Each structure stands twice: as C-alpha cells, then as structure tokens.
Structure 1
C-alpha cells in the first residue's frame, strides 16, 4: 500500500504463498484471493491478517464484496455483507464478510478449517471448468466460465436460476445491470451477448470484435467492451448497435475503465484516453511501455500498474495538477520506498 501523495510505501500485506489474483476492499477490510487457494482478510490500518478462508481446491480467480441493496422485489438483500469467491476449481463460494470487530482468528500454524466453516454460507456447483469472472448485486450472482456458459444464481438458495448457453468458446468476462435486469458476457468467440435475467433469453449478440473479448464494463449508462484485437467498443444495450469504436492501433487491450466522460485503456505499449461520447482520442497518458496491467481512476487521479524497462511501476497521474498550479507538470518523478525522488530515472 502506497501514499498517493508522496509515493511512499506504507504497508506490505504478507502471508499468501502464491500469486495474488484478486483483491477487493470495503472500509478498513481488504480481501485477497490467491493461487495458494486461500482467501485472506486483512486490516488495512494495521496490515494484520485477521482471517484465512480455506475450501477452494485451486486458484481463487475472482472476488466480489456484496453489500445489502434493494432488489427488484423491494427486499433488502443480502441481509449482511458477503464475500463471493470463484475459482479454477469450477465452484463459487459464498462467505459472510467478517465484521471488523470480530477477533482475529488467523494463526500461522493453524489449519483454519473451523474458521472457514464459521464464515462459509454456501458452495455453488454446476460449472464444468474455470470460473473466469463474476458480478453480483442484491440476491443475484452472474458467473462466466471456460465451459462456455454463463450462470445466474440466487444467493439465498445457492441454486442456478438460468444456465445461459450460446457462446461457442470460453467466457472471459461478465457484467451485471440490475436496474434493467440484464447481464452481459464476453467470450473467446469474439462476441458480446446481452441476456435477460428474468427469462434467461439472449436479447442481443454484439458482433464486431475480431478477437477475444476479455473485458466489459456496464456503468454510467454505457456498455463498453475491450478485446485482444486492440479496440474498445461502446454499444447501445437497448438495440445491440455499436456506437463508437475506440482504436488502440496496437496490441490487445489489457485493462480499461470508463465514466460518463472518458475511457482510459491500456495495452502493451501505451495508456490512452478518449472522449466516451464522441470517440475522439484526447491524449496519450503514458508511452514507451512494455506492459500495462491495470488502470483505475477517480475525479482527481489515474493510477496504472505498468512495466517499463523490465521493471514494474505504479504510475500516478494527477488530473488536477494544471488547475492547482502544481510544479513539475509533465515531468515523470520516480520515488523510492520513502517517497524520495530517485535521480536519473
């Protein structure tokens, strides 16, 4: 964990025995999933590992923290915050999110089976291969799998509501729009499909990408997809038409995020920004890279995990620097673990 103002290293959360594939945060709680098959619950303020949840028999690929929300039936679901985990072992698990006031149960020499049982609420089975992505809201989970299917689950019962069949190759990404009662999936078959949550029917198949569709985001009234063909596309979810193609003219899109004004996307060499309403390329945020692994932004800053000259960096860009009259605008400053500038880099 880093200080976004100075770049100084604040904490290292140590404990996993394998690569960390998934992270979610809620208040002072950080939840992580790993190739070591465990889920760890951390206190952000102390850096302490509070709980270790065991049960998956392979890599934990993705996580979701699900807070109580009002469903289409007017009910508040779930009754308490949950963790949803999905794994290469083809199962999903539903856990109670430990309360911050719960006493830590993690001990280095403990198997932790009793702890896991205390928080485990359900195991969802049905997929026949790796579960690559999940989305959740209220009492509903949507999962996409390498078995070429999408499943819609009801959390209180743990049962499959719909098994959505139509993709001809692996499903890599899913998104959920609870207000319109629709979910979306992207696949290695180059297509995006929009499904009705109530009936399980496929409403639209969106064609245009020429390679794996690995990323989707359905928010701010926009449905955006990203693919290995080097493009992002904005779609009208009400009629299935493509509105705008954002071209990278480079390698596969590895990450992106959008809001109601802009799209920021990364590939193997650059991080670029477009106007989401017009498709205009606004600027190249970062260049001369050998990889962009992740990007996230808010109203003030954009943070990207990138590779440059065989080293991995966390790059922090400040959208408000010009407005605030900050010095060194446009100059890249590399800092050490203490936040002190490293000269010559």
Structure 2
C-alpha cells in the first residue's frame, strides 16, 4: 500500500491506533503517519539520542471521587497520547494529533542537523520526564499511569497527566528489559538481565516478591490469568501463579534463546532463531510448529484470526501471514482446556 520514508536512521519501534502510526528512530525523532495516505503528518523532536521505545496511550473511563465524595466517571487521559523512551535517559509525552489539526515538524525533520531539544513551538508537547540514569528500554501504560524500565536497573512510575514521578522502584541488580501492568493498577511486573522477575506494589512502592528460576535475561512478561507468563533467553517459558507467585510449570520451549513471544488467555506463540511454535497455555504444551528452518526469527504478532511473523530464511527476509479462521487449534475452547 505504502512505503513510509522519512527517517534517516534505523526504526526501533512502532505503535498503531486506527489509521495513525507512530514510529521512533535512531535519528532521535518520533514521526506520526497517516496510514490511509502514507503521509508523514508530524515529526516530533527533543530527544538527543536514539529513541528506543514508543507507546500510544488510549483514553479509558475511570471512576474517581469528586467533591463531597461523589463518584464521577472521567476519561484518562482525555485524548490519546504518545510516549517515547530514549537512550538519552529521558521520556517525552505528547498529545497524539487529531485529524485536521495543524502539522508540526521539528527543525531536523528533513535530515541530520544540530539537534534542538526545545519544544516551545510544538503545540502537542506535554512533558519531558527525567530521572533515569541510563537508557529507557521498555514502557507500559494505562489511564494516567505510566511505567518505565531502564538499563539503570530501576523502574519508575509516573503520572502521565502531571508528569510527576510517583515511585522509583529499586531492587533489580541489572538492566530492566520487560514490563507488565496489572489491570487493577495495583501491581507492576518487571523482568531483568539479573534473571529475575519482581512484583511491585504500586500503592506502597515496595517489592512484594522476587521470582527466581530463569538463568538468563527475562525478555518478555505478560499476564494470562491465572498466570504470569515469562520468556527468557534461557530458552524456557515459565508460568507463575498470579496470586501466590509460585512457579506452576516450566516449558523447555526451544533449543536456543527465545527471540519473540506473544500470548492471550488460551494460546501463545514463541520463536527462536530456528523455529516458531504455537502453544496451549491451559494445557501447558506445544500444539505444533508454525515455521521451521529459519535462521533468524525477528517478530511475531497476532490479533483475531490473523497472525504474522518476520523471519530470515535462505538468506531472505520473509513475512509469513496466516488466516486461522478455520483452525480449531487457534480458537481453543477454554472449557475443553481443563480436561487434562
């Protein structure tokens, strides 16, 4: 449909909402694209080094206490926001421009030039968040809560509306690589190069549990009730009880490091450099191999009946796409999953 050109350095991360794509790059910018037309509408500057991670935070309804104890419903945030994390140790927060709003392009939008960190003329700029002492590696956010993980071994919890840092969560002894937020906004989960997972109480700022067992970097963590699921470069996937934090079972998933991973409540897909596999979460076993004979497995993404994987095979970069609409292994009935 379109080739989106404009970045003049490697593209590190993407985020999509409706027909809008946000991208971040080695060139220190965040770009906002119209996917219907392929047009780059906005270029946001401010970062002074590679922008490593990016998310779009969508508005959600929340019940809050107003004057005289009256319970009100409000949207947090009021409009979609873009958050970026960089190797310059900082995060930036912008309002996501709406259709028809004026285009904005920073001074170095068209190529390398002296980088300006000023956003005084950017009408969409909200906050620059400082505090991390090394690269910002991973982000997670919902409503007004933003969580960032850094190579400084800390996790920071921010109020995306005010830009204030609420908690600095310390305990990891090495770089933070993965994050997940509890739907109740009471706990955050972080995975680290120190091979551990930490569970943080977001009401007290304290570490509730430290989960040990992985023997290499915990690169992916996510919630799939009743489990917390973790994947590691030690080639295993582990399932932890959300309530007790006990290890329920370990899958020796691959013969080499897990490089990509995604799951929902009933299934997951994991990839290593040689193979891509489909698993049943409730049965705790592999369903089948989806791809074999790859030399690099870069990324996996699925939604609904569609699944896509990017890999290298026979010296070529390949994008494989599946339609699982008639595949019983894809839409597994949870009631059947409890039989064994």
Residue number in structure 1 paired with 2:29:
38
8 Å CA contact 1:232–1:247 kept in 2: the answer is yes
C-alpha distance in 2 between matches for 1:180 and 1:28: 28
Specify the alignment match of 2:147 in structure 1.
Answer: 142
- Range with bigger deviation, 103-112 or 172-181: 103-112
Per-residue CA deviations over 1:223-277 (Å, capped at 9, x if unaligned) read 2111000011121121111122222231111111111111110011100111101
- In structure 2, how many angstroms separate the alpha carbons of the residues matched to 1:181 and 1:71? 14
Give me the whole-angstrom Cα distance separating, in 2, the residues matched to 1:122 and 1:273. Answer: 41
Counterpart position of 1:328: none
Q: Confirm or deny that 1:86 pairs with 2:91.
A: no
Unpaired segments ≥5 residues, structure 1? 1-9, 324-345
Instruction: Summarize the Cα distance change of 1:109–1:64 in structure 2 as closer, same or farther, 3 Å threshold.
Output: closer
Q: How many residues align?
A: 314
Matched, 1:258 2:257: no
Q: Is the 8 A contact 1:89 1:130 kept in 2?
A: yes
The equivalent residue for 2:125 is 120
User: Is the Cα contact below 8 Å between 2:308 and 2:319 reproduced in 1?
Assistant: yes
Choose which of 47, 50, 68 in structure 1 pairs with 2:59.
68
Asked whether the 8 Å contact 1:134–1:144 carries over to 2, the reply is yes
**1:166 CA drift (Å):** 0.6
Q: 1:286 — aligned with what?
A: 291
Deviates more, 1:206-215 or 1:241-250: 241-250
Would the aligned equivalents of 2:28 and 2:48 in 1 still touch at CA under 8 Å? yes
Instruction: State the match for 2:250 in structure 1.
Output: 245
1:131 positional shift:
0.6
1:151 aligns with 2:156: yes
Structure 1 residue ranges, 4+ long, deviating more than 6 angstroms after superposition: 110-116
Say which SS state the counterpart of residue 118 (structure 1) adopts. Answer: coil
Cα distance, 1:304–1:105 mapped onto 2, change above 3 Å: same
Name the counterpart of 1:15: 6
TM-score by length of 1: 0.86
Q: Which residue of 2 aligns with 1:58?
A: 49
Name the structure 1 match of 2:313. Answer: 308
Whether the 8 Å contact between 2:46 and 2:119 is mirrored in structure 1 is no
Stretch deviating more after TM superposition (231-240 or 314-323): 314-323
CA distance in 1, matches of 2:63, 2:136: 26
Which deviates the most, 63-72 or 178-187?
A: 63-72
Change (3 A) 1:193 1:87: same
Q: Please, which moves more after superposition, 294-303 or 133-142?
A: 294-303
Helix, strand or coil for the counterpart of 1:132?
strand
Q: Determine whether 1:104 maps to 2:103.
A: yes
Unaligned runs of 5+ in 2: 65-72, 329-340
RMSD value over aligned CA atoms? 2.0
1:264-279 mapped onto 2 (5 Å cutoff): 264-279=269-284
- 2:69 corresponds to which residue? none
Q: Distance in 2 between matches of 1:67 and 1:297?
A: 20
Deviation at 1:75, TM superposition (A): 3.9
Alpha-carbon deviation of 1:106? Answer: 4.2
Query: Over residues 23-76 of structure 1, what are the superposed CA-to-partner deviations in whole Å (9 max), with x where a residue is unaligned?
Result: 001111100000110000000000000010000111111111111113463542
Change (3 A) 1:71 1:244: farther
Counterpart-to-counterpart distance in 2, 1:287 and 1:232? 19
Q: TM-score, normalised by structure 2?
A: 0.87
Contact 2:231-2:238 within 8 A present in 1 as well: yes
CA deviation profile, 1:182-240 (whole Å, cap 9, x unmatched): 10000001000111111111111111111110111224553211100001112112111
Of the two structures, which has the highest relative contact order with CA contacts closer than 8 Å and spacing of 6 or more? Answer: 1
Sort the Cα spacing of 1:210 and 1:102 in 2 relative to 1 into closer, same or farther, 3 A.
Answer: same
